[in-house]
A and B are shown apart, each in its own frame.
Chain A
Amino acid sequence: MAAHLKKRVYEEFTKVVQQQQEEIATKKLRLTKPSKSAALHIDLCKATSPADALQYLLQFARKPVEAESVEGVVRILLEHYYKENDPSVRLKIASLLGLLSKTAGFSPDCIMDDAINILQNEKSHQVLAQLLDTLLAIGTKLPENQAIQMRLVDVACKHLTDTSHGVRNKCLQLLGNLGSLEKSVTKDTEGLAVRDVQKIIGDYFSDQDPRVRTAAIKAMLQLHERGLKLHQTIYNQACKLLSDDYEQVRSAAVQLIWVVSQLYPESIVPIPSSNEEIRLVDDAFGKICHMVSDGSWVVRVQAAKLLGSMEQVSSHFLEQTLDKKLMSDLRRKRTAHERAKELYSSGEFSSGRKWGDDAPKEEIDTGAVNLIESGACGAFVHGLEDEMYEVRIAAVEALCMLAQSSPSFAEKCLDFLVDMFNDEIEEVRLQSIHTMRKISNNITLREDQLDTVLAVLEDSSRDIREALHELLCCTNVSTKEGIHLALVELLKNLTKYPTDRDSIWKCLKFLGSRHPTLVLPLVPELLSTHPYFDTAEPDMDDPAYIAVLVLIFNAAKTCPTMPALFSDHTFRHYAYLRDSLSHLVPALRFLQQSLERVYSLQHLDPQGTQELLEFTIRDLQRLGELQSELAGVADFSAAYLRCQLLLIKALQEKLWNVAAPLYVKQSDLASAAAKQIMEETYKMEFMYSGVENKQVVIIHHMRLQAKALQLIVTARTTRGVDPLFGMCEKFLQEVDFFQRCFIADLPHLQDSFVDKLLDLMPRLMTSKPAEVVKILQTMLRQSTFLHLPLPEQIHKASATIIEPAGESDNPLRFTSGLVVALDVDATLEHVQDPQNTVKVQVLYPDGQAQMIHPKPSDFRNPGPGRHRLITQVYLSHSAWTEPCQVEVRLLLAYNSNSRIPKSPWIEAGEIPSQAETSIEGTIPFSKSVKVYIMPKPARR
């Protein structure tokens, strides 16, 4: 329902945009055509046959009409309407009226009377329906006018008895959209008795036409969406509709029942044919569950989806959905799940199945068996077994939502989810794995369940395996055998699919850190240490061995007794891995303190010297390398400090003290610094996720300083005033722009460069460039170092190209002029909206560069904040004499507009001025990989 509402909001939003476009277009039109209405009139008068008139109207409808002339056009249309005998032309006119009344800036209340008038004389049902549609458009345009709404509702009620379903449909739609929310509004409008819209609509639940019944239910839902509280009496009516012959009616009825159950969850309803009573939400749940075995799959999907959002249902009912009450020959039978559980708890694991192993046990009382309508009984069992995968997916989603709100249910539905891992459709398998991950906080896997889960690791689909790794990351395992089993299966997976290496290591990292006590007893076995003998040192490059170590080291983090079990080489390997795979291997001691140091950066002496900055930058960089959690913050701060450092360095150049013409050479350094600062600021702004407005201000401020620096340097090194004049003006514009964008943040920037700059702004505006430069120079020197408030969560966007690995010595040969496809496989971390921002760049040895935009479907999203790009890049070049390397790297495209905060006072009209200052560019954010290629000359 919420999605539905959202959709509505979205629809309305798009409408507004369209109207704006129309307006823009009309401005042009007005020049060419002075009066639209006149032209239309002439056209229509010329029309000799209905077909002709229709043609003219169609043509007319293609162009928008400006708001002022709408009324005139409407009058002309109405005039023709009265004259017209052909219903199809009248239909078109009626639809045009509706279209015109939607025109922005036009208030359609003046044409309403006419519309209602012609409605009364109309005989054709189709035209009637269209006219009612027009009225609906008018009514929705004037939501405040109560009298009009009342009148329209009245009209709708009058036509409800029409014989045509189309007319009744529209009437109900009108009632649903305009039916008054407060019951006792206007008694003053004479003759209009207060109508109970709900009652009227409710009466049409039993209309003879299924389309009208559907429309009635939809109208009721519409009332609900508009905030009218539906009566509880509707519930019984809706329940009757569940056994309707038509699927669209049933489907809508299910929705209505859901709505009512959410409105009155706690009211009590009687169970028919017994004296008992139950809560309404439970009753509704039972009924919707019953619809999961409906004959139409559309209804089944609808029912399964809605089940998921019924959270108030009592657990007793909820758990019934997973119980089908098996029997065989009238004797109760245990499900395979129950048997598996029993086997497991009796200590016997996986026995061979015998015939009659599943023999039924006790007799059932035949009277007690209820074959249908036992409420929610087995609804999910049916849903998960459904023929259509749409229903299965909906059922899995519903399971997920219910399990998230009820831990006991999560425990129960586990067996079923695990079973879904074997579904025939990959989408369903994937969905159930994701679901399992989402509820994994509530559950602990039994060994036999884990066994089934792990069996899927051999799946040939990469997506499935990665989803499963994600799942294992957050799974709770109950026994050490479970951990061992998981490790063995993961290693098997590793040998079968070596490309999964990173994902498996990561999975083991979490597995280890979650279950330190379970890993502990396994350590000697895993490391194959022996109490008396030294064993051979394993190969350090073996991915499997690394996997084992990752598991153990992560477990050791919270288990201080574990290192005692390590042999010497294990410690050595630790040191090695800590350095090479620091993101996977945790620091086992003393690195926590460094954390504080980063945060104390804020208290850094603003007058800190160059050295201090340099040291700090170095420390930060090292820290970032070691602590992956802090890498983002550390890099971000380091970049900022580096900018500051560069600025200080540039200002300390001798250039400033000596006459300009002598220091042309050194000025290179200063302008290079300015350039570098600019680059750094772009990186800071766009390469980090989680950057807040506070930081953006500081970054922009830094950039402004860099621009000032650039200006000064240019002023120093160029002769002549003309270019300088333009630059000055541009700079002042930017200052102005800065002020407008960040006016709210200006108070935080006291004593800063901008603060001072703005004080002197009036003077700067009038001074000559040379003077401006002079002022800027002094101000740059005097300005203070701004604190960079550190954001809560900040991550640097990074990318690693997994494939091509860049190790091959075999050049990729292809015929020149033709293309060769290069598989690119990369992981992206913390990239927002990668579909639009990430590009692949190919640099050819001749300096030619090619930018490739991957398709949106090439990006997968294996986990929060992570993306995977699997795409193909097409290379082509003219023939070379020898193989040579091309470089492939990933770029992050940015657009400076996107980050500018939109203040309410920035009018739409000023967008162009923003666009002028917007800067688009790209930042390389992955290491480039070299690919050896050889375009051969084509053979003749």
Chain B
Amino acid sequence: MPEIRVTPLGAGQDVGRSCILVSIGGKNVMLDCGMHMGFNDDRRFPDFSYITRNGRLTDFLDCVIISHFHLDHCGALPYFSEMVGYDGPVYMTHPTQAICPILLEDYRKIAVDKKGEANFFTSQMIKDCMKKVVAVHLHQTVQVDEELQIKAYYAGHVLGAAMFQIKVGSESVVYTGDYNMTPDRHLGAAWIDKCRPTLLITESTYATTIRDSKRCRERDFLKKVHETVERGGKVLIPVFALGRAQELCILLETFWERMNLKAPIYFSTGLTEKANHYYKLFITWTNQKIRKTFVQRNMFEFKHIKAFDRAFADNPGPMVVFATPGMLHAGQSLQIFRKWAGNEKNMVIMPGYCVQGTVGHKILSGQRKLEMEGRQVLEVRMQVEYMSFSAHADAKGIMQLVGQAEPESVLLVHGEAKKMEFLKQKIEQEFRVSCYMPANGETVTLPTSPSIPVGISLGLLKREMAQGLLPDAKKPRLLHGTLIMKDSNFRLVSSEQALKELGLAEHQLRFTCRVHLHDTRKEQETAVRVYSHLKGLLKDHCVQHLPDGSVTVESILIQAAAHSEDPGTKVLLVSWTYQCRMKSWAATSRPCSRRVCPQPPAEAADGSGRAARGPVLYSRTQSVPRSSLCTCAAPAGHGLHLWGHHQCHMPAKWPVWAEKINNPWRPLHILFLLLGWDVHLQ
């Protein structure tokens, strides 16, 4: 049984250390390779020994995909590729490829130089690791090997963040990474087409939140900064170097520009300058406004934002400073904070959450006296503000994405279990698709019903299409033909061709029926009577009297013979082939092959089972999906009945279809006519 297996090594009912293993169509893909912020021991990296105990990872994994450059999505990559050992390809987008090594290097420095950890990856390892990277463009379909292909979609969130579609044959998985459905000042909104994946793996950080309009937040932020600057105060904004920092920079830069403000804005140096450079380069990854105006001016070439120097902090007059790190626990932001905290004209704005124990957390929870190193007590007089600028999709956004992609099932990662539970329930309820939320190390197995491609000759397809009365998009449709299985490939051909290929002779089925007439005249006379009777009744049809005494009504043959026992009784032999019947239907219905024909709809419709029904061979009913003209897929529920099975698969639509056939006359009617029954032609 084919199946898709998903095992999160990290990010299963958890945030951080994103790493998800996916097996699809016999291919193994690892999605993201992140580290966990909360741990400093082995637990910070995913347990790669799960993948294979002995044996090389490269043999087991077909590729690794990194969704974006945040460390909880790429932090373990050098460890994984260089220290554990993986030589296969690593896919990521161009901006991620550019910025990722900067962040990894920074992370390494803090771990090794500051915390003094041993057995950590080295700078060289980062470089070697990046050599294995294959960069992809948005919407570019990359063929990893003959069967496995991946494609990146825009995800918002941070510069270069992407969602990936992994496809093997007709099965596909979409992994969203982190994404944002509302655009912001420098990035657009995530977008995916209706790719209808088998499985959608989505993040669920804000599974239980519906966020307010971003405009209020922006306005509040700008107003606070503006008021403080006008008062002559200084504003400190502690940020992490990448992502939100650029968003706030753009926000302030455009505001300064618009309002013609003169107060200086500084950016503490370091990482950011390098990163800003990449922001300037990857303009195509930004939002509409920046993309459209970069010809006149690249928005990331800040006019008002200058590099910060330690000495500037003591300058008089208003200023705004962005400083790292974001939680005020160390470094430049803390230094500046100490200098400015005493003045109530100044302000500090925290643009994100702060971990417990950091200075940021303390001041946000209202503490006004801080104990610093060396038993100093710092009194905080400056205003403390909190603004949340988060770039994850909220519950509505997640639902929107699910609606856009129309997956067959959903799997939640990157969120808290309790919140996932709620979203899972909602997804199941509103989209009626199954939803999973495996914990780390837990495997989800999804059985799939693979579609089997069947080749069909264009001639047959066109012929069958022309028969259709009404266009019927997306609906399965009946198609008549012969399925030939040969050398593990399937072909659907017309029955004539099938006969030819198989070297079989055609058998003609004729149905006969005897009608006993009480008539004392000679056979010839009876025939003449029948002839004239029919001639009178069936004016529109070709009724002929043949020299051998038989009468034909088109291809129906009527012969009169004397009864062997009773000379006063004549036996009328009425004989018809299916072929002839079908021919007469041809105007309104479909032609049918001689060997294979469907359940005769006429009888099914009028329900008069008087006539003997000949043995009927059933053809397979085959549905043709609209999109693929040359392959036939039988969706689940439509059984594929092979030639020779004496089993009829009768779609529920048959009677309806038969009713539509307004056949003017049938062989049965001829019988009835002969018997003198009054049968109304419909």
Contacts and interface: CB of A to CB of B under 8 A. Distances in A.
Contact of B400 (A204, A293, A353, A385): A293
Contacts of A110: none
Interface in A330-365: 330, 333, 335-337, 352-355, 357
Contacts of A425: 289
Contacts of A327: 208-210, 395
A295 B260 contact: no
Contacts of A366: 422, 425
Interface stretch (A367-375, A676-684, A784-792): A367-375
B237 to A, nearest CB: 14
Contacts, number: 144
A389 B183 CA distance: 11
A355 B194 contact: no
A207 B471 contact: yes
B219 A422 contact: yes
Contact of B183 (A387, A416, A460, A461): A387
A424 B259 contact: no
A368 B36 CA distance: 35
Interface string A886-905: 00000000000000000000
A213 interface: yes
B203 to A, nearest CB: 16
Interface in A390-422: 416, 419-420, 422
Contacts of B396: 324, 371-372, 378
Interface stretch (B3-11, B220-228, B315-323): B220-228
B465 A207 contact: no
A793 interface: no
B62 interface: no
Interface in A160-188: 161, 163
Contact of A355 (B215, B364, B426): B364
B146 interface: no
A420 B470 CA distance: 49
Nearest to B477: A208
A213 B224 CA distance: 53
Contacts of A355: 350, 364-366, 384, 386
A329 interface: yes
A565 interface: no
A588 interface: no
A163 B462 contact: yes
A206 B386 CA distance: 53
A326 interface: yes
Nearest to B404: A295
A337 B466 CA distance: 60
A386 B183 contact: yes
Contact of A204 (B220, B224, B471): B471
B165 to A, nearest CB: 15
A496 B404 CA distance: 49
Nearest to A421: B219
Given A422-B222, A460-B258, A371 B430 contact: yes
A381 B213 contact: yes
B209 A384 contact: no
Given A212-B471, A372-B430, A420 B215 contact: yes
A394 to B, nearest CB: 14
Contacts of B259: 458-460
B590 interface: no
Nearest to A369: B426
Contact of A354 (B192, B209, B386): B386
Contacts of A419: 213, 215-216, 219
A145 interface: no
B297 interface: no
A818 interface: no
Contacts of B554: none
Contacts of A370: 430
A452 interface: yes
A161 B472 CA distance: 12
Given A295-B191, A372-B399, A459 B258 contact: yes
A583 B4 CA distance: 79
Interface in B396-420: 396, 399-400, 403-404, 419
A919 B234 CA distance: 67
Contacts of B289: 389, 424-425
A496 B262 CA distance: 12
A369 B209 CA distance: 11
A245 B419 contact: no
B303 to A, nearest CB: 12
B212 A372 contact: no
Contact of B194 (A245, A325, A329, A357): A245
B548 interface: no
Contacts of A204: 471
B254 A424 contact: yes
Interface string A437-461: 0000000000000001001001111
A422 B217 CA distance: 11
Nearest to A325: B210
Contacts of B257: 460
B425 A335 contact: no
Interface residues of A, number: 55
B541 interface: no
Given A326-B212, A385-B182, A425-B289, A208 B473 contact: yes
A594 interface: no
Contacts of B575: none
A203 B472 CA distance: 8
A314 to B, nearest CB: 23
Interface in A190-208: 203-204, 206-208
B87 to A, nearest CB: 38
Contacts of B422: 330, 366
A371 B212 contact: no
Contacts of B386: 353-355, 357
Interface string B357-399: 0000000111000000000000000011111000000011001
B432 to A, nearest CB: 11
B403 A336 contact: no
A743 interface: no
Nearest to B416: A329
Nearest to A455: B223
A354 B349 CA distance: 11
B197 to A, nearest CB: 14
Nearest to A212: B471
A326 B210 contact: yes
B214 interface: yes
A146 interface: no
Contacts of A388: 288
B288 A324 contact: no
A328 interface: yes
A328 B289 CA distance: 30
A123 to B, nearest CB: 13
A376 to B, nearest CB: 14
Interface string A495-520: 01000000000000000000000000
A329 B222 CA distance: 27
B309 interface: no
A355 B210 CA distance: 18
A422 B475 CA distance: 49
Contacts of A373: 430
Contacts of B193: 295
B218 A460 contact: no
Contact of B216 (A203, A208, A335, A459): A335
Contacts of A357: 386
A371 B428 CA distance: 12
B211 A326 contact: yes
Nearest to A464: B258
Q: Which 9 A-B pairs have the closest CB atoms?
A: A336-B216, A387-B183, A419-B215, A207-B471, A355-B364, A355-B386, A208-B626, A371-B399, A460-B260
5 contacts: A206-B471, A372-B399, A387-B189, A388-B288, A422-B222
Given A327-B209, A327-B210, A328-B210, 11 more contacts: A161-B466, A208-B471, A208-B626, A295-B192, A335-B212, A355-B365, A424-B185, A452-B223, A455-B223, A458-B258, A460-B259
